[in-house]
Amino acid sequence: MSIHLIGGGATTTADAALYAPFVAEAAARASAAGRTRPRIAVISLHPEAQEKAAALAELLAAAGEGIEAHATAGRSGEPVALSAIADVDGIAVGGGVVEEVRAGLEPLFGELRRQVAVGVPYLGVSAGAMVAAEGSLGGGTRIGGVPVAPEDPDEPWLELEIESGIGLVDVAIEVHVAQRGMLSRLVAAVESGLIAGGLGIDERTALIVGDGRLGSEGEGSVWRVLPTEGGVLVSTIGI
Taking all residues of the chain, what is their mean pLDDT, rounded to a whole number? 95
Question: What are the chain's domains?
Answer: 3-237 (3.40.50.880)
Asked if residue 239 has pLDDT above 60, the reply is no
Rounded distance, CA 185 to CA 204, Å? 20
pLDDT tens profile 94-147: 999 999 999 999 999 999 999 999 999 999 999 999 999 999 999 999 999 999
The percent of residues in the chain predicted with pLDDT above 70, rounded, is: 99
Rounded distance, CA 54 to CA 48, Å? 10
pLDDT tens profile 50-92: 999 999 999 999 998 889 999 999 988 889 999 999 999 999 9
What pTM does this model have? Answer: 0.96
pLDDT at 236: 95
Asked if residue 210 has pLDDT above 70, the reply is yes
Q: What is the mean pLDDT of residues 16-22?
A: 96
Asked if residue 238 has pLDDT above 80, the reply is no
pLDDT at 130: 98
